Structure 1
Amino acid sequence: MGLSSPAVVRPIVRRTRGDGHGPITRLMSPSDLGQVLKPFVFMDMFDADRKTVQAMADMPVHPHSGVATVTVPVEGRFRYHDAENGSGTIGYGGVEWMRAGSGVWHGKELSADPDVARILGFQLWLSLPADQETAPPVSRYIEAQDIPRDGPAHIVVGRYNRVQSPVPAPEGINYLLVTLIPGQQWTYVPPAGHSVGWLALAEGELQSGESIQASELVIFETGETPITLEATSEQDAVFVLGSAVPHPHPLHLGRYSVHTSATALAVGERRIIELGKKLKEAGDRRTASGTIPVYR
C-alpha cells in the first residue's frame, strides 16, 4: 500500500533516532538539530514502565529560562496538582505547557498515574521570541477534552484550519498530535510562512515518499509544500508534527537556558540562581499527590 501519488512529495532531508539514555531518547537538542528547526530546539521521547517511572520521579528539580516546554503523553496518564491551576490528569490529547520565561525550577510537577503500566510521550522545548524570553513564567495543564481537533489531529499548539489551541504560545508555531489508523492518509498544509517542518513518530509506520519508522524524527525540506502521510503498518501511527515560521535569532545557550542574546541569557541565568536560593528556603513543597509544583 502506498501514497496515491500527490502532485508533489515534500522530501525528507534528515532523519535521526537520537541518543538513548534508559527510558529517555534525546531526538534533538539546541546544539544540533535545534539550530536547524528553531523555534523547535529540543525534543525528548520518553517510554517507561511503572518501575522506571518511579526511578524517573527521583530525578532532581532543575531550572530553565528563555524557553517554553510542551509535554504530551501518547500512552498513559500524568497527574498534576498546582495551587494556581488545580488538579487533574493529562492523557492522550492533553498537554502541560510551561513558559519558563524569566526563570523557573521544575521537574516534579507531573507524576505518573498509579493505574497505568506505561508512560510514552514527548517533551518539546520552544525558543521564545525576544518579547517573551524574560517575561513572567506561565503554566497551563490542559486536559484532552479541552484540546480541539481537526480530523485526526489534536491542535496542541497554534492554529490550524481555523482551529485554535488554548495554549498561550507565541504566534507562528504549530504543534499537532496525530493518530492515523492503518491505511489512512492525511495531508498537513502548512500555514503561510511556516517553512520549518518535521515530525517524530512514537508508534507504527508512515510513508511520505519514503518510509518513516517508530522512534524516528524526520525533517522535511524547507518550504511550504504540504506534507502527505499514510499509515502503512498494521498498527496505528501515532506522531507529533511541528511547523513554524523560522526563529530569526541566533541561539545563546546556557546549561538550562536558551535566549536570543547574550544579554538576555545573563538576565535569565541570574534569575534562576536567585530562584534556586529561594527554593531552598521554601522547604518541602510536595503535594498530597506527590507532585512538586513549578517554582517561579
Structure 2
Amino acid sequence: MASIREVAKVIHGQPARDGAGVKLTRMFSRDEAELLDPFLMLDHFGSDRPEDYIAGFPMHPHRGIETVTYMLDGYVDHKDSLGNHGTIGPGDVQWMTAGSGVLHEEMPQEAKGWMQGLQLWVNLPKANKMMPPRYREIKKEDIPVFDLGNGSNIKVIAGESQGLVGPVKDLVVDVKYLDMSLGPRTFLEHEMPAERNGFVMVYEGELIIGDKHPKTVPAGSVAVFGPGDMYRLGTGRRTAKFILASAKPLKEPIAWGGPIVMNTREELDLAFSELKAGAFIK
C-alpha cells in the first residue's frame, strides 16, 4: 500500500550575499546536507533592483560538485575555463559538472524588471569527484512540458515525469528536477521511491503538502519530504509555482570548503593548494 510522504521539515530562506555582493536568499546549505543528501545548497536570487545583482559572480573555482542554474526571469552571461560561453534566459538551464575543477563566472545582464533564478548544488560521488568537467546549456524550448489542465503543468528538466524525459542526459547522480505549476484548488499525487530524498521550493503562491498532516508551505520556503513512496501536493485559492527535486543519497563523508566539496580534509587542502599554485585545472 502506498505511503504518502508528510513534510519532515520546513526551511525558511535566509538573506545572504555571495559573489561580488549579489543579494540572494540561501534556501538551505550545510545544516541540511545530511537530511537532503546529495543536495548541498540552494540559492534563490530575485530582485528588480540592478544594484542587488549586477556585480554578479566573477571568475571562481568549483570542484567535486555539479551546479544547476535555472533562470526564471532575466539573463545571465556565462564563461568558463573549458572555453564555454553563452547566455541563459527565462526558462533556460545551465548544468555544470565541475568534476576535477573548473573556473567560471556568471554575470547578470542589467534588466528593466525582475531578475530571478535558482542555483542548486549537487554533490558528486567519491568515484566521480575528479571526473573531467563538462558544461551543458539547455534552452527553454528543449524542456518538455506536461499539461495537467486547470493552468497546471510540469516542466521536466531532468529525470522522468508523466512519461516525459528531461533533456539533461548522462547524469552522474540520478536527479529528478521539475518546475511545476498547480492552478487554484488542484491536487496532484505522484510516486517518489522510498530510497530517494526530496524537497520542494515554493517560489510563488503557497503549496499544501501531505495527507494526514498537511502543511501549507509559503513562497520563499523549502519543504523536505519525510519517508514514504508517494507525495501529495495541492493548492488553495491561488496558483503555486515551485521546483521539486529528488535523488538517492550518496551516504558519503563531506569535506566542504566554500566552492569546493570533497570527501576528506586532505583532499580539500590539496584542492586549495593546487588553486594557489595554478595547478587546479587538470
Aligned pair 1:140/2:136, yes or no? yes
Residue type at the aligned position of 1:18:
G
Contact 2:78 2:105 (C-alpha < 8 Å) held by counterparts:
no
Contact 1:197 1:222 (C-alpha < 8 Å) held by counterparts:
no
Comparing 263-272 and 203-212, the one that deviates more: 263-272
Equivalent in the alignment of 2:257: 254
Evaluate the alpha carbon distance shift between residue 163 and residue 204 of structure 1 in structure 2; reply closer, same or farther with a 3 A threshold.
same
Aligned residues between the structures = 265
Equivalent in the alignment of 1:97: 95
Equivalent in the alignment of 1:272: 275
Evaluate the alpha carbon distance shift between residue 188 and residue 272 of structure 1 in structure 2; reply closer, same or farther with a 3 A threshold.
farther
Equivalent in the alignment of 2:121: 125
Equivalent in the alignment of 1:164: 165
Equivalent in the alignment of 2:185: 183
Evaluate the alpha carbon distance shift between residue 183 and residue 256 of structure 1 in structure 2; reply closer, same or farther with a 3 A threshold.
same
Alignment of 1:26-65 (within 5 A): 26-29=26-29, 31-57=30-56, 59-65=57-63
| Alignment gaps of 5+ in structure 2 | 18-22, 148-152
Equivalent in the alignment of 1:198: 199
Residue type at the aligned position of 1:214:
A
Aligned pair 1:10/2:9, yes or no? no
Looking at structure 1, the residues matched to 73 and 190 of structure 2 have their Cα atoms a distance apart, in angstroms, of 23
Contact 1:189 1:226 (C-alpha < 8 Å) held by counterparts:
yes
Aligned pair 1:72/2:70, yes or no? yes
Residue type at the aligned position of 1:104:
V
Tell me the alpha carbon deviations over residues 25-53 of structure 1, each in whole angstroms, 9 at most, x when there is no partner: 11111x21122101101011111224235
Residue type at the aligned position of 2:12:
R
Evaluate the alpha carbon distance shift between residue 61 and residue 181 of structure 1 in structure 2; reply closer, same or farther with a 3 A threshold.
same
Tell me the alpha carbon deviations over residues 41-84 of structure 1, each in whole angstroms, 9 at most, x when there is no partner: 10111112242355432x54321110100011223343456795
Equivalent in the alignment of 2:25: 25
Q: Secondary structure at the match of 1:102?
A: coil
Higher share in strand? 2
Looking at structure 2, the residues matched to 150 and 270 of structure 1 have their Cα atoms a distance apart, in angstroms, of 47
How many angstroms does 1:247 deviate by? 1.4
Residue type at the aligned position of 2:227:
T
Looking at structure 2, the residues matched to 105 and 157 of structure 1 have their Cα atoms a distance apart, in angstroms, of 24
Looking at structure 2, the residues matched to 39 and 222 of structure 1 have their Cα atoms a distance apart, in angstroms, of 16
Evaluate the alpha carbon distance shift between residue 8 and residue 194 of structure 1 in structure 2; reply closer, same or farther with a 3 A threshold.
closer
| Alignment gaps of 5+ in structure 1 | 1-6, 279-294
Looking at structure 2, the residues matched to 149 and 267 of structure 1 have their Cα atoms a distance apart, in angstroms, of 43
Contact 1:65 1:272 (C-alpha < 8 Å) held by counterparts:
no
Contact 2:88 2:94 (C-alpha < 8 Å) held by counterparts:
no
Q: Secondary structure at the match of 1:24?
A: strand
RMSD of equivalent CA atoms:
2.7
Residue type at the aligned position of 2:39:
F
Looking at structure 2, the residues matched to 263 and 163 of structure 1 have their Cα atoms a distance apart, in angstroms, of 42
Evaluate the alpha carbon distance shift between residue 125 and residue 89 of structure 1 in structure 2; reply closer, same or farther with a 3 A threshold.
closer
Tell me the alpha carbon deviations over residues 107-134 of structure 1, each in whole angstroms, 9 at most, x when there is no partner: 32x423x454111221110000122211
Equivalent in the alignment of 1:228: 232
Residue type at the aligned position of 2:45:
F
Residue type at the aligned position of 1:221:
G
Contact 2:47 2:53 (C-alpha < 8 Å) held by counterparts:
no
Q: TM-score, normalised by structure 2?
A: 0.82
